[in-house]
Chains A and B, each alone.
Chain A
Amino acid sequence: DIQLTQSPSSLSASVGDRVTITCRASQGIRNDLAWYQQKPGKAPKRLMYATSTLQTGVSSRFSGSGSGTEFTLTITSLQPEDFATYYCLQYNSKPLTFGGGTKVDIK
């Protein structure tokens, strides 16, 4: 099974900050990586797929990059509605696996 290691597991940031979350895969997954945002008590929401393709309707302050085994999600100019937990997902091979999550909270 492919393991995904997300870092950091949590971070504190201020409105307007630039935030970067990393997801490392235990083996190459081409660009078969998606990012999801989850707010408390809510279902996750897809932000990004195929590493860097923005989900329709998602703000362009979110961007994704990487390939192979190392991937990043960047949020430029963090907004109040961005405080949430973020998960990466690899769908290159089954079983599909998620990273452990990164909780972004207010500094």
Chain B
Amino acid sequence: QIQLVESGGGVVQPGRSLRLSCAASKFTFSGYTMHWVRQAPGKGLEWVALITYNGFREYYADSVRGRFTISRDNSKDTLYLEMNSLSAEDTAVYYCARGTQSFDFDDWGQGTLVTVSS
């Protein structure tokens, strides 16, 4: 059973920054595309970003492009999401998910809650 454990969530003021981490284990992290997906309270799922296995390519949702940066450290089996210029609309549970060769995702972490509020 693979493990994905997100951390770094919390309460942050509008306009500030936050970095999320996702620690991966029990699979070869460096061989997989990884994603971030979020879910605002009581709402549906929204794909946020993906990064290819080697970190060479990144893709973003329009709603976060230019403000969020996905990255990874394959030596630490860890995925990151740097979030800048946060607004209330970014309040959500953020999940990391392991990608497949087809770019969907097969396993998810438990999520970390980010609340943007003054």
Which residues on A are within 8 Å of B, measured CB to CB? 1, 32, 34, 36, 38, 43-46, 49-50, 55, 87, 89, 91, 94-101
Contact = CB atoms under 8 A, between A and B. Distances in A.
- B interface secondary structure, majority: strand
A94 B59 contact: yes
- A interface secondary structure, majority: loop
Interface of B: 35, 44-47, 50, 59-62, 95, 100, 102-111
A98 B45 CA distance: 6
Nearest to A44: B108
B44 A95 contact: no
Q: Report which residue of B45, B50, B60, B111 has the largest number of chain A beta carbons within 10 angstroms of its beta carbon.
A: B45
A44 B106 contact: no
Contacts of A89: 45, 47, 104
A100 B66 CA distance: 25
